[in-house]
Structure 1
């Protein structure tokens, strides 16, 4: 796929997402409707400055226009993911879907060994964490309060603050962990 095709796909998607006509985008960006139409058809050869103007008109980062679009269907094989380990292997996370410019969240499957715990200093500003217990009892410690989750239970919290996950059981536990970046 050429860079012009990538820009065309991204511009069309972003313009539709924002419900903007060519005329409205032309007003916001300072790029003519004719040029915008050519770019979106993949026929134009926009300069870097033109792409910047379009990005500003759409209210997005420049990179959102030039990054290769994700496949419509993504199949992730868990056994092919590199595990991220911490605390001597007691805590293991597999990142199935990392955040991108169009996907403002990470999706992890986390495992904690029996008797193990994992402490986090907190994540970047304006982030939230969504946790769904899947296997075994999970303890989430937030602001010195412990929340006990059994499989099927979920919790959501402001993860900018320090927090801890603990497995007090004799079996490994597993949970789905989604970190959302606002």
Structure 2
């Protein structure tokens, strides 16, 4: 399940319950079937914008309330359970674990690169910085015209205002956790 589907699932259930509504009552108010509402709350449905519009109108909430990251004390993410943000078969897979938001200036994602694989990332604008920690293998990162070899359990920081390249020159898959910071 991707993070947006998860957000809608958690928020819809929380909002419905905070209004003291059963699924039947929410269905009556929104014009969306009880089974569809249940599937959305379980994260097994991918509702159209029209359905989300009916929900926001019927529950009298702003669209942003439905898609915002839920306010929770803790939140566990297993990247393999998410839909990859980007992937190229035989090369790399990228998962966004915690997306960038207006109220949080950090984005956390994981990158897996297959042996011989390369992942090219465009620049992210001025005053952006990335921190990465290699969790498997050895990763080569090219930025600002220089290559840096980052070993297992090492951490690396670099400015991401221009194109940067992640490479796996080894024979085993390499992985890293990346923390992208916007410090405007």
In which range does the TM-score fall when normalised by the shorter chain? Answer: 0.5 to 0.7
- Are residues 68 and 74 of structure 1, via their aligned partners in 2, closer, same or farther at CA, if it must alter by over 3 Å? closer
Alignment correspondent of 1:95? 96
Question: Once the 2 structures are TM-superposed, how far is the Cα of residue 158 of structure 1 from its aligned partner?
Answer: 0.7
Query: Does the CA-based 8 Å contact 2:90-2:117 persist in structure 1?
Result: no
In the TM superposition, what are the counterparts of 1:116-131 in structure 2 within 5 Å? Answer: 116-131=117-132
Alignment correspondent of 2:151? 150
| Structure number with larger C-alpha Rg | 1
Alignment correspondent of 2:171? 170
Give distance in 2, aligned partners of 1:121 and 1:96: 19
Question: Once the 2 structures are TM-superposed, how far is the Cα of residue 168 of structure 1 from its aligned partner?
Answer: 0.3
Q: How many residues are paired up?
A: 121
Give distance in 2, aligned partners of 1:77 and 1:143: 32
Q: TM-score, normalised by structure 2?
A: 0.59
Structure 2: any 5+ residue segments left out of the alignment?
1-13, 19-63
**Structure 1 vs Structure 2 CA RMSD:** 2.3
Question: Once the 2 structures are TM-superposed, how far is the Cα of residue 176 of structure 1 from its aligned partner?
Answer: 0.7
- Are residues 77 and 154 of structure 1, via their aligned partners in 2, closer, same or farther at CA, if it must alter by over 3 Å? closer
Question: Once the 2 structures are TM-superposed, how far is the Cα of residue 121 of structure 1 from its aligned partner?
Answer: 2.1
Matched residue SS, 2:80? helix
Structure 1: any 5+ residue segments left out of the alignment?
6-62
Question: Once the 2 structures are TM-superposed, how far is the Cα of residue 74 of structure 1 from its aligned partner?
Answer: 1.3
Give distance in 1, aligned partners of 2:164 and 2:69: 35
Matched residue SS, 1:79? helix
Alignment correspondent of 1:105? 106
Q: TM-score, normalised by structure 1?
A: 0.59
Deviation by residue 1:141-171 (Cα, 9 ceiling, x = unmatched): 1122111111011111110111111000011
